[in-house]
Amino acid sequence: MRPTSSGAPHVHTGWLAGTIAVVALLLIGTFATVSAASPPSVDGISPTSGSTSGGTAITITGHGFTGATSVAFGVDSAVPDVLNDHTLTVVAPPHDPGLVHLRVTTPAGTSASTAADNFTYVEGPTVTGITPLSGPTSGGTEITIVGAGFTGATNVAFGVKSAVPDIVDDTVIRVTSPSHAAGVVHLRVSGPSGTSPVTAADNFLYQDPPVVTGISPTSGSTAGGTEITITGSGFTGATSVSFGLDLMTPSVVSDDTIVVTSPAHAPGTVHLRVTTPGGISGSTSADNFIYTEGPVVEGISPSSGSTAGGTKVTISGSGFANATSVSFGARSVTPSVLSDEVITVISPPGTAGVVHLRVTTPSGMSPATAADNFTYISAPVVSSVSPNTGSTSGGTVITIVGAGLTGATSVSFGDKSVQPTVVSDDKVVVTSPPNPAGVVHLRVTTPIGTSAETPNDNFTYVASPTVTGISPTSGPITGGTVVTITGTGLTGTMSVSFGSISVTPISVADASVVVVSPARDTVGVVHLRVTTAAGTSPPTSADDFTYTSAASFSYTLNYRWTLLVWQGKDGISVVDALRGRESPDNPATNDIYAHVTAIYRWNAVGQRWEGNFPGNESVPGVNDFTTLSKGTVYWLAIRSPGPVTWQVQP
């Protein structure tokens, strides 16, 4: 710098501009160095085609793949698995037939479209089901595969092994399974148009042949009916258990447990051999079952008893000599043997339900049959009553739900009893007797006992409703008047009738109900009668409501807030409505402008309250709305004690 003629310093602007330019170039060079990473590029893909159903695993080679976030298949994309900067893999998504570019995106950009990234979607084979779903590890299972696109199929892969299919048509092929280790494999069909994708529909289970390691019990009656538990391995999908030459269908509990019932058979030893899709178990000493001339139960008396036990049961049949025990389901007791045909036993405690009474002797156990069924019955239990309220005058039809209700002889309502109608073991129906207002327990009595008192059996007697007053007492025949009904016993109000027209209330309390009057064709007086579970209020002068002509009708505004549904002129300004000004003027309407301090409405679309404040019409932005809409609910606040009658024109 040098001094100017005025004494102020002088700056060499040329020098300064040059310095700034040099600094800018240095910064640009720095930024260029930071952002010098190049976008990725694709050198090749393998394979270059796949099924339109997706699922083709593709390897992409090139460079700049570090940090790759997606691979575009035309307009679709998939998340890749980046192996290194030069290689990534990705699974093709479903797509329409045709050619797409596979473009790799990293933080440095997206690879350009080239011939090296071309991938062709073709209508490849699709597997929708296979039959059967499993077979032995030794192979040889003939499998039918259904799907689409099978024409020209050359191979079916069983995991890492393959087999040549027999093509029936484009939707069905057959193939014989090769040998394979145990486990689930996917059956994937390959042809000129690609390989079917992996889905749950192509799962095939290779199984080892089942092995039986033990059975329990190891003997049973020649009459059959012995329930046998077989333990071992490879039981999944078991279709039969052979008792010598007889086949029985088992119940598969798990891969190592099945349960089967023995068929009738001549005395002697048989092998229990299990058949599954994996083969047939071998015969060993572990699967020996001995048929013996065992006991047979032909009848029991009585056939039911209390869950508390103690019922003396007589069992008749044959082969009872030397009987050592009688099982009641899983519980066993010692019998008293009267003869080879009759024994008696005392039932142990049990849970409600049916059990088999099976007799055990040295020669075996009696088979389970319908003739030995014994039903444990518990004392009745009440789980709910519906309805749970009714009139003190009685006559309410009540459904009681619970358990152990079979044979119910009475239902007590406090200290009064009535006879029920038994529908089933878990349901009875009864009609309530007259009773004073209050809560009583509904207790069911059967031959086994009486249900205990619980909150579930509470029934409330309530007095019939009465109406002592309504406000307002009139409204237009167009309806829409919000009427408050006062009285007693109004809790649970279900409906209010305006003469012959019933409506549902909008709010209910024990001493008041709020309802909106329905429209009516003619003017005149109707009774407002309230209906609850206890009955309907009687008509009195206190419930008279007068329908007036549509020329005008009134609202009663209470201090401080009043809820009303606007049934006046649609779109009338708030000021005109409050002042009783219409065009043409209706002399029946009145001016309540000075009484109202605020009007609110709920904007359901905007989810907000909106207000209008009379007296502030000239203040911009104060009022959210300036007109009233027919059918809309409004809250009005008045400053005077009230009530104030507002006569409006519909």
Which pLDDT tens digit goes with each residue over 96-151? 989 999 999 999 999 999 999 999 888 789 899 999 998 888 899 999 999 988 98
Instruction: Please give the pLDDT value at position 455.
Output: 94
Residue 575 clears pLDDT 90, i.e. is over it: yes
Query: Predicted confidence band at 589 (pLDDT cuts at 50, 70, 90)?
Result: confident
Nearest C-alpha neighbor of 414 from the set 446, 357, 476, 457: 457
Q: How many CB atoms sit inside 10 A of residue 451's CB?
A: 26
Residue 367 CA to residue 37 CA, distance in Å, equals: 83
> 591 Cβ partners below 8 Å, 6+ apart?
578, 579, 580
Higher pLDDT, 223 or 590: 590
CA torsion 77→78→79→82, rounded to 10°? -100
Reduce the DSSP state of residue 510 to 3 states and report it. Answer: coil
Residue with tokens 């258990």: 241
Under 8 Å between Cβ of 390 and 423 = no
Residue 21 has pLDDT above 70, yes or no: no
Residue 510 has pLDDT above 50, yes or no: yes
What is the mean predicted confidence (pLDDT) over 368-379?
A: 88
Q: Which helix (H) or strand (E) holds 137?
A: none
Residues 6+ apart with CB under 8 A from 301: 313, 314, 316
- Asked if the model's pLDDT at residue 18 lies above 50, the reply is no
| % of the chain at pLDDT higher than 70 | 94
Contact (CB, 8 A) for 486 and 469: yes
Q: Which pLDDT score, from 0 to 100, does residue 550 have? A: 61
Q: For residue 618, what pLDDT is reported?
A: 87
Write down the pLDDT at residue 617.
87
pLDDT at 23: 36
Residue 618 burial (CB count, 10 A): 6
Mean pLDDT of 76-85: 95
Q: What is the pLDDT of residues 612-642, one digit of tens each?
A: 999 998 898 899 999 999 999 999 999 878 7
Whether this prediction's pTM lies above 0.85 is answered by no
C-beta atoms surrounding 84 within 10 Å: 9
3-state secondary structure of 629: coil
Q: Which of 155-169, 334-348, 420-434, 541-555 has the lowest mean pLDDT?
A: 541-555
How much is the pLDDT for 329? 92
More confident residue, 384 or 17: 384
pLDDT confidence band for 268 (50 / 70 / 90)? confident
Using alpha carbons only, give the angle 355, 360, 366 rounded to the nearest 5 degrees. 60
Q: Give all domains of the chain, ordered by start, each with its CATH number.
A: 1-36 (no CATH), 41-122 (2.60.40.10), 126-207 (2.60.40.10), 211-292 (2.60.40.10), 297-377 (2.60.40.10), 381-462 (2.60.40.10), 466-550 (2.60.40.10), 555-648 (no CATH)
Residue pointed to by tokens 């080239």: 114
- Label residue 24 by pLDDT band (50, 70, 90): very low
* Length of the chain measured in residues: 650
pLDDT of residue 36: 56
CB atoms inside a 10 Å sphere around CB 383: 13
Quick check: 377 pLDDT over 90? no
Question: How far is residue 222's CA from residue 344's CA, in Å, rounded to a whole number?
Answer: 24
What is the chain's mean pLDDT, rounded?
Answer: 88
Cα→Cα distances 104→94, 97, 149, 247, Å: 18, 21, 31, 62
